[in-house]
Chain A
Amino acid sequence: MKSKEILKILRPTIEIFYAFFSIFILIFLLLYLSDANFSLAFKGFINSSIGGRNNAYLFSTFSKMALISGMAIAALVAFRGGLFNIGGEGQLVVGGFACAFTGLLVSDFGFIGILISIISGMLVGATWALLSGFLTVYMGVPLLVGSLLLNYPARFITSYLVSHPFRDVQSGLPQTFLLSKNIWLPYFPNTRLDLGILIIFFVYVICLIIFYYTKHGYHSKNMGHSLSYVKLSGLPTKKIVFKTMALSGAIAGIVGSIAVLGIHHRFTDGMLVQPLYAWTGVIAALLVNLNLWFVPLAGFFFAAIYTGAAGMERIAQVPKEIATVIQAVIILFVVGKLGSLTNLSSSKGDKDD
């Protein structure tokens, strides 16, 4: 009896150790497979995630953190309302393209131009999200599948647009023309870190306010807890769905705009899809169990893994995809601690123990 009680108290600790142990074994195995020099790889990881000359790598981690946290907020806004919007990738891509396209048109206006292009990215991202919201509400398509399937049109249409009508042919790659320096996001003094992270922080604060101080935030949260409660209270559920989806898509559009105006200064085919920003955002939102306060922490954590792995590739020739594997394994180990997320997944057959 006594030993059973002790075991019960120790159980969470044992589980955490078990998770860490498994992740370390996995990393060890992967490094062993690629014939890496362990100490070199470790040094490369630490140095390039938080170190570097003049903290250059730390700043690149911060700039990745802005994008990942932004996508995490976009995912979280929808998840909190019980809307499993995993079409963040499509919304990010169309937002980024719209921003790059508008940026070319308004490049003479300086600061106003930046504002206009970000807003256009926002609007297009929100429209793309509303499209999947529309399919869910009026057509009965499950949002999970509908939002996901819309990723592929977004990806292929922008890919077509940048490789045919709006292509910078001279550059040889499928990409738009380079934006003029007038509308690049300015850097922080003496660094290579653009102001995008401030914009994301602004979005973060706005979302906190929406969540805790507005009617919409309250309704949306209740809808996440129980749809039928909200419906029986006589609230306009359709309107709440559209508002929530538009907010989520707009945030994804802003993230795309920041990547275009702050980091790449043009839209290249696949530049927002390949690094899996949207999926990392979804994972980060799940890792903090949909608690908005901790999103920046999760964003920094995943960004550090990303840049650290990139450094490991530079120094020890370990492929940087190890970051993707580690992220997936981390989310697997926390998944048991999360509740069920959608009505769809807890439909039938999940009631057994």
Chain B
Amino acid sequence: MTEIFDPEFFSSIARLTTPILLAALGGSICHRAGIFNIGLEGFILLGAFMAVLGSFYANSAFVGALTAVVGGLFLSIIFAEFHLRRKGDPIVISIAINILALGLSTYLLRSIFKVSGVFSHSEIEKIPHIQLPIIENVKILNLLINDQSILFYLSIVIVFILHYFLKYHKFGLWIRVVGENPEVLKSSGINPVRIKFLVLLLCGLLCGLAGAQLSISNVGLFVENMSAGRGWIAVVAVLLCGGRPIPLFLLIILFGLVDSLSLRIQGLGLPQQITELLPYIVCLAVLIIVSYKKLRTFSRIIY
């Protein structure tokens, strides 16, 4: 048992939770605004690639995070153009965006860096980690949340800001109204399409940061199809929580815990495929339990 629960295990929880959390927060505002965005996987992937690109050429993690955000915003604008202006089905657009991001990131990886598979370089600047001297004496907190990347602390702050924002702020109210009944907003003189566009941009920004956390926070490299299903886990979490930030946060901590557990038990000699399967099985199990409990309300489709 001690082999599994060593300090490395506790510090990896936060590292693995952050990208899923950031992406899911983006997805949750989309969900609240009534945009069924399941393209988070593609958003994260392009963000991760752009982060490596920016960090490599500018030698600065800040520029890397900035280009990652630009990548996310780029996909957001595509989503908005085809969903809001051309009235396309959001599911089809999401599928197209996932495929587009996969193709584009691999294509650019091979044509710009002339490598296939993995790109890693010592010149890729990583996002700095923060030491918190206040909690150094509390052992468990020190293990769990000290010495993490800036984006981790940022994501925690965003959870609470988003909670407050959606509940009490005027713009948050508009977002909820757009999701529930756009006609109401229209009759009070606000263009619902404009609100949806802003929501999509915000989602792109958060997912871009998620990509940056994935590629330039700890490892400093890009692998083909790096997001590897994390976006889908985020989508499931958003669906399960109905886009409410606080339950979302707790659920994603669970997924992050399982993720880091699966990394640890790989060291015990279990085959890699079986341990990698663990997060998806837990995700599916949570999905089944929650859906079964709310069978009549959640799915809205009863056969």
From 107 to 133 in chain B, residues with beta carbon under 8 angstroms from any chain A beta carbon are 107-108, 110-112, 116
Q: Say if the beta carbon of A57 comes within 8 Å of chain B.
A: no
> Chain A residues near B180 (CB, 8 Å)?
348-349
Q: Is the CB–CB distance between B96 and A332 below 8 Å? A: yes
Interface of A is mostly: helix
Q: Which residue of B lies closest to A269 (CB)?
A: B273
User: A319 touching B303 by the CB < 8 A rule?
Assistant: no
A143, closest chain B residue (CB): B301
Which residues from B are CB-within-8-Å of A145?
Answer: 232, 235-236, 239, 287
Report whether B294 and A331 are in contact in the complex, using a CB–CB cutoff of 8 Å.
no
Per the bound structure, the CA–CA distance linking A293 and B95 in Å amounts to 23
B111 lies within 8 A of A157 (CB): no
Contact: A324 with B229, CB < 8 Å? no
Q: Which residues of B contact A332 (CB under 8 A)?
A: 78, 82, 88, 93, 96, 100
Residues 64-109 of B contacting A (Cβ, < 8 Å): 78, 82, 86-93, 95-100, 102-104, 106-108
With an 8 A cutoff between CB atoms, is A329 at the interface?
yes
Interface residues on A, range: 35 or more
Interface residues of A in 103-140 (CB under 8 A from B): 135-137, 139-140
A283 CB contact (under 8 Å) in B99, B110, B182, B274: B99
Asked whether A139 lies within 8 Å of B291 as measured between CB atoms, the reply is yes
Select from chain B the residue with minimum beta-carbon distance to A347: B300
Q: Are A33 and B108 CB-contacts (below 8 A) given A141-B288, A159-B273?
A: yes
Q: Name the CB-closest residue of A to B99.
A: A328
B residues near A35, Cβ cutoff 8 Å: 111
Q: Does B280 contact A153, Cβ atoms closer than 8 Å?
A: yes
Give chain B interface residues in 260-303, CB to chain A under 8 Å.
271, 273-274, 276-277, 280-281, 283-284, 287-288, 291-292, 294-296, 298-303
Chain B nearest CB from A219 CB (Å) reads: 13
- Write the chain A residue with the least CB distance to B104: A325
A335 adjacent to B92 (CB under 8 Å): yes
Specify which chain A residues have a CB less than 8 angstroms from the CB of B302 in the assembled complex.
140
Interchain CA distance A247-B78 in the complex, whole Å:
35
- Indicate if the CB atoms of A349 and B178 lie closer than 8 Å: yes
Please give, as numbers and ranges, the residues of chain A lying within 8 Å of B95 by CB-CB distance.
86, 279, 282-283, 331
Which of A6-14, A259-267, A338-346 has 4 or more CB atoms under 8 Å from chain B? A338-346
A351 lies within 8 A of chain B by Cβ? yes
Cβ B232 vs Cβ A283 within 8 A: no
For B116, give the chain A residue with the smallest CB separation.
A319
Structural contact, B90 and A345, CB atoms closer than 8 A: yes
Which residues of the partner chain A approach B296 to less than 8 Å between Cβ atoms? 140
B186 near A352: Cβ-Cβ < 8 Å: yes
Docked Cα-Cα span, A150 to B285, in Å, equals: 11
Could you say which of A142, A238, A335 contacts B239, with CB atoms under 8 Å apart? A142
A227 within 8 A of partner (CB): yes
Indicate whether A140 sits within 8 Å of B291 (C-beta atoms), given known contacts A322-B103, A332-B88: yes
CB-based contact B271/A279 at 8 Å? no
A295: Cβ under 8 A from any B Cβ: no
User: Given contacts A282-B95, A328-B97, A352-B186, are A339 and B89 in contact (CB under 8 A)?
Assistant: yes
Interface size on B, residues (CB 8 A): 67
Judge if A327 is at the interface, Cβ distance under 8 Å. yes
CB<8 Å pairs between A and B, sample of 18: A140-B296, A141-B299, A156-B274, A156-B276, A156-B277, A159-B273, A283-B99, A286-B92, A324-B100, A325-B104, A331-B92, A332-B82, A335-B88, A335-B96, A338-B92, A344-B91, A345-B90, A348-B180
A5 within 8 A of B: no
Binary interface encoding of chain B residues 4-20 relative to chain A, with 1 for a CB under 8 A from any of its CBs, else 0 = 00000000000000000
Beyond A328-B103, A335-B82, A349-B178, 18 extra complex contacts between A and B, CB < 8 Å: A33-B108, A135-B288, A140-B291, A140-B292, A142-B299, A144-B38, A153-B277, A160-B274, A319-B111, A321-B107, A324-B102, A327-B103, A344-B36, A344-B301, A345-B90, A348-B34, A348-B180, A349-B182
> B193 at the A/B interface (Cβ < 8 Å)?
yes
- Report if B136 contacts A (CB, 8 A): no
Is B247's beta carbon under 8 Å from chain A? no
> Max chain B CB contacts within 10 Å: which of A135, A336, A342?
A336
- Write out the residue numbers on chain B whose beta carbons fall within 8 Å of the beta carbon of A157: 273, 277
User: Which of chain A's residues has its CB closest to B301's CB?
Assistant: A343
Determine whether the beta carbon of A140 is less than 8 Å from that of B295: yes
Q: Which residues of B contact A141 (CB under 8 A)?
A: 287-288, 291, 299
In the complex, chain B residues whose CB is within 8 Å of the CB of A160: 271, 273-274
* Contact A144–B99 (Cβ < 8 Å): no
Chain B residues whose CB sits within 8 angstroms of the CB of A340 once the complex forms: 89
**Bound complex: CA A338 to CA B98 (Å):** 19
- Residues on A with C-beta less than 8 A from B179 are 348-349
